[in-house]
Amino acid sequence: MSSLAAKQAEILRQDGNTCFKKDRFAAAIEAYTEAITLCPNVPVYWTNRALCHLKRNDWKRVEEDCRQAVVLDHHSVKGHYMLGLALLQRKEYAEGVKELEKALDLGRSANPKGYMVEEIWQELATARYLTWEHESTKRSWKLQNLREACMAALKQKQFLDTSDREGFVDETAKFDRDQIEALGRVFDKAAVDDTPTEVPDYLCCKITLDIFRDPVITPCGITYERAVILDHLVKVGKFDPITREPLYASQLIPNLAIKEAVRAYLEKHGWAYKTD
């Protein structure tokens, strides 16, 4: 790579950054693509272009660019992070979680208090819950199919055995019922751990009803998702949507207690099913 090509590529990167800040994503992609053509071994050009694709919800290209970025730089936080998000979009939950975990580990090593660490953690927490929910649903279907097959086999066996016990009709009927009920209890117990639980109301935003990622509390004592309440303050008005009391962004305080409760809840219901 010549120094001239490198300088031209950097100019193109800066042009791309300028376009990106103006939401001109197509122009930014074009600039980053030209930079990549000149210097294909620079990871940041690939992650910058991937971010543009992400803004346009072009997840296939996000994945392609991020895969190239992490090949060039195994320690690319943004590369692993956006690759994880792209994989989650394809419902590749286990692989997506692995990439987010890698991004989180790298981010904590590089800058423990950086904004990306918090952002990655929030996405990872949600991804882990989605992974558990997805996997538990699949196991529930398999368990139900197995239950039906076992019940059918048991009834078939009982039907074939009936002729051998014609003189003991009452005892046979009671024995049959006991076996079926016992089998049902076994499957009921097996299904308990894989039954998705309702997220407690206090762990959900009162506006979106979704589980908190970044909870903040107002002077009135009500907790909201930060992005949601900030959007409300900008687009609707400077007041609490529930109490209608005056409210300003500067008055919002992180609700660390709820955040920890969310973490504990997701660890109990989601992280236990993490794939190695």
Boundary (domain end) residue, out of 149, 174, 192: 192
- Please tell me the predicted confidence (pLDDT) of residue 196: 52
Task: State which residues form the domain around 259.
Answer: 201-273
- Please tell me the predicted confidence (pLDDT) of residue 273: 33
Q: Which candidate, 78, 74, 19, 12, places its Cα nearest to that of 44?
A: 78
- Please tell me the predicted confidence (pLDDT) of residue 212: 86
Half-sphere exposure of 115 (CA within 13 A, CB side): 0
Q: Is residue 128 part of a domain?
A: no
Chain centroid to Cα 206, Å, comes to: 20
Gap between the Cα atoms of 263 and 254, Å rounded: 14
156 and 88 both lie in a single domain: no
213 and 182 both lie in a single domain: no
pTM: 0.59
Q: Positive or negative CA dihedral for 205, 208, 213, 216?
A: negative
Q: Is residue 188 part of a domain?
A: yes
26 and 94 both lie in a single domain: yes
77 and 149 both lie in a single domain: no
Number of independent structural domains in the chain: 3
143 and 209 both lie in a single domain: no
- Please tell me the predicted confidence (pLDDT) of residue 272: 37
Gap between the Cα atoms of 40 and 9, Å rounded: 10
Gap between the Cα atoms of 215 and 255, Å rounded: 5
185 and 161 both lie in a single domain: yes
DSSP state of 196: P
Q: CATH number of the domain that 228 lies in?
A: 3.30.40.10
- Please tell me the predicted confidence (pLDDT) of residue 60: 97
Q: Is residue 183 part of a domain?
A: yes
53 and 145 both lie in a single domain: no
106 and 29 both lie in a single domain: yes
Q: CATH number of the domain that 13 lies in?
A: 1.25.40.10
164 and 224 both lie in a single domain: no
Residue partners of 179: CB distance under 8 A and separation at least 6: 154, 158
Q: Is residue 127 part of a domain?
A: no
Q: Is residue 97 part of a domain?
A: yes
- Please tell me the predicted confidence (pLDDT) of residue 185: 72
Chain centroid to Cα 187, Å, comes to: 29
Q: Is residue 58 part of a domain?
A: yes
- Please tell me the predicted confidence (pLDDT) of residue 231: 86
Q: Is residue 268 part of a domain?
A: yes
Edge-to-edge strands of the sheet including 223-225? 223-225, 215-217, 253-254
Question: Digits of tens for pLDDT over the chain (276 positions)?
Answer: 578 999 999 999 999 999 999 999 999 999 999 999 999 999 999 999 999 999 999 999 999 999 999 999 999 999 999 999 999 999 898 899 999 989 988 988 877 666 677 788 778 877 877 777 777 677 777 777 777 787 777 777 766 665 555 554 455 555 566 766 776 777 666 665 555 556 788 888 887 777 888 899 999 899 999 988 998 899 888 998 888 899 999 999 999 999 888 888 877 765 433 322
